[in-house]
Amino acid sequence: MSAPPSPAPLPAGLDWAAAEARAVVIIGTGPAGLTAALYAARAGLTPLVVQGPAPGGQLTTTTDVENFPGYPDGVMGPDMMQDLETQATRFGTELRWGTVTHVDFSHAPHRLVVDETTPLLAQAVIAATGASAKYLGLDNEKRLLGRGVSACATCDGAFFRDEEIAIVGGGDTAMEEALFLTRFASTVHVLHRRDEFRASKIMQDRVLASPKVRVHWNTAVTDVLGEDAVTGLRLKDTVTGEARELPVQGFFVAIGHQPNTAIFAGWLPMDEAGYVQTHPRSTHTDVPGVFVCGDAQDHVYRQAVTAAGTGCMAAIDAERWLAEQDVIDETRTETEYHAAPAENPETGKPVKA
């Protein structure tokens, strides 16, 4: 394994003495970040959430979400994120535009820099920066995202019942998603740029044994066709250079995910793919007061509901840690929460315990 990278230095000239100081700063506004915010806000911690470059996270790029509990008729991804935001702000979460561009976890409180220019101090940091699906980088792939192009078979596979769909990739994700898609599609075309899969043998064998799967070896996708919805793909043989078209109604991209954790390099231990390593059955990291939840630390489940679950864990971990450091009063149970007045009658401020 290579040596961990050195942390990026903070921009010079920031006035840390005048920096805004918060008990809890949450980085990211996907299901993990907003659930952490909801719990931290209900605990009276008035969390500040720095939204990041893609407010709402990956769900804002999907259409119908049918697998998040509580929405029996499904919900549009952006609407669900709006609901989560409304719920979190109802209890005192403060949302702020901007992206955390630098961190320095060598001090207490921790130092964060927003948009290269604004210093921010946090006793506890909850990192919920998520992951981004990798895409091929084709213009029409981007244009038709959510209209036949998807990077999440679990989310969108059911919309292609009895239709022909294609999936690109040769790793375990592509195999797993191709198998999942066979439940719905009439045919699943697996497109791989080489003549052998990278995936584990057991997953390959399952895919190759499926009567609904057709594997296209040595095949690159060069364009996605369709005006308002996907109608096909333009393909190229990577050996002969021969071009052809494949009519499909759905196109799934499964060429890997990139966790959005670059700003933590050198501060938090990560695996080789960049997922932050948290302590078992918790969101604690090796840095006291820094908690990580959601897809930034999970390459296995990667679902909105699991991200939300770890967001809840992070807020509870952070609250308990802050209480241990005497930054806040005792942590509150849900029962105490409901028994406590909403505000201190003397100060008008939210009550913590």
Question: Does residue 294 bind ligand NDP (CB under 6 A)?
Answer: no
Instruction: Return d(Cα 112, Cα 97) in angstroms, integer.
Output: 14
Quick one: which of 32, 7, 3, 23 has its CA closest to 296?
A: 32
Bridge partners of 237?
A: 219
Residue 104 in tokens: 């320095």
Percentages of the chain per state (helix, strand, coil), in multiples of 5:
30, 25, 45
Name which of residues 52 to 81 contact ligand NDP (CB under 6 A).
none
Contact with ligand NDP (CB under 6 A) among 143, 212, 214, 299: 299
Q: Do 278 and 284 meet the contact criterion of CB atoms below 8 Å apart?
A: yes
Is 274 a binding residue for ligand NDP by CB under 6 A? The answer is no
236 binds ligand NDP (CB under 6 A): no
239: how many CB neighbours lie within 10 A of its CB? 11
Cα–Cα distance, 261 to 158 (Å, whole number)? 31
Q: What is the helix (H) or strand (E) element at residue 142, kind and residue range? A: helix 139-143
205 a catalytic residue: no
| Interacting residue with ligand NDP among 104, 176, 223, 237 (CB under 6 A) | 176
* Catalytically annotated residue among 15, 64, 73, 156: 156
Please say whether the beta carbons of 292 and 282 come within 8 A. no
Residue 38 makes contact with ligand NDP by CB under 6 A: no
Q: Does the protein bind ligand NDP through residue 174 (CB under 6 A)?
A: yes
Of 99-118, binders to ligand NDP (CB under 6 A) are none
- Angular region, 57: left φ>0, alpha ψ -120 to 50, beta rest: left
Q: Of the candidates 172, 236, 331, 340, which one interacts with ligand NDP according to CB under 6 A?
A: 172
From 14, 118, 154, 193, residue interacting with ligand NDP (rule: CB under 6 A): 193
Compute the distance between CA of residue 350 and CA of residue 43 in angstroms, rounded to an integer: 9
> What's the min distance (Å) between Cβ of 61 and ligand NDP?
17
| Catalytic residue status for 293 | no
Tokens of 315: 């807020």
If one asks whether residue 169 binds ligand NDP (CB under 6 A), the answer comes out as yes
Is 31 one of the binding residues for ligand NDP (CB under 6 A)? no
Active site residue 312: no
Could you give the CA distance from residue 134 to residue 236 in angstroms, rounded to a whole number? 20
Q: Is 233 in the site for ligand NDP (CB under 6 A)?
A: no
Q: How far is the CB of 251 from ligand NDP (least distance, A)?
A: 12
- The minimum distance between CB 136 and ligand NDP, in angstroms, equals 5
> Which residue stretch of 27-35, 118-126, 171-179, 234-242 sits at the interface with ligand NDP (rule: CB under 6 A)?
171-179
**What 3-state DSSP class applies to 51?**
coil
CB atoms within 10 A of CB 108: 13
**Which member of 255, 276, 290, 313 binds ligand NDP (CB under 6 A)?**
255
Which residues in this chain contact ligand NDP in the complex, by CB under 6 A? 136, 168-174, 176, 193-194, 198, 255-257, 299
- Tell me the catalytic residues: 152, 155-156
